[in-house]
């Protein structure tokens, strides 16, 4: 039973990783691409690692899968945020269809607070 559930988790993870790769190709700007890759790849890769853990069980390889899963859950959103912030500070423009620029509003509030 663990083998079937593990294969299902791996299949779902591969599907999400594929969707994340399509988002990298299809989306217009760095922010949308970053969002697609981070959300889909985090969920997809975590599913693949959890499925591998179910297949391997509680041995050294299975525990390494769990540790990699936890590491990925903590570092992927943090690195995505850092990359988006660095791209904005470097002057990377938003895509044509983008409606809201939260970083621009935050930067204008910071500069107004520094002037006073």
pLDDT digits (tens, 9 = 90+) for 22-65: 888 888 888 888 888 888 888 999 999 999 999 998 999 999 99
Looking at the structure of the chain, the number of domains it has is: 1
Contact 13, 47 (CB under 8 A): yes
Residue 109 has pLDDT above 70, yes or no: no
Domain hosting 103: range is: 2-115
Structure pTM? 0.78
Measuring CA to CA, how many Å separate 116 from each of 98, 102, 104, 109, 112? 31, 22, 19, 11, 7
Measured in whole angstroms, how far is the alpha carbon of residue 57 from the centre of its chain? 26
Measured in whole angstroms, how far is the alpha carbon of residue 66 from the centre of its chain? 18
Q: What percent of the chain has pLDDT over 90?
A: 39
Contact 40, 56 (CB under 8 A): no
Supply the pLDDT for residue 23.
Answer: 84
Supply the pLDDT for residue 31.
Answer: 83
How far apart (Å, rounded) are the C-alpha atoms in residues 101 and 53?
40
């Amino acid at each position: 039973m663990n083998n079937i559930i593990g294969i299902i988790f791996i299949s779902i993870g591969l599907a999400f990783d594929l969707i994340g790769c399509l988002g990298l190709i299809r989306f217009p700007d760095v922010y949308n691409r970053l969002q697609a890759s981070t959300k889909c790849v985090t969920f997809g890769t975590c599913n693949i690692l959890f499925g591998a853990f179910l297949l391997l069980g509680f041995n050294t390889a299975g525990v390494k899968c769990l540790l990699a899963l936890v590491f990925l859950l903590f570092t992927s959103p943090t690195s995505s945020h850092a990359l988006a912030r660095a791209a904005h500070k470097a002057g990377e423009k938003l895509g044509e269809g983008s409606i809201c620029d939260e970083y621009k509003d935050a930067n204008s509030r910071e500069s107004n607070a520094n002037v006073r």
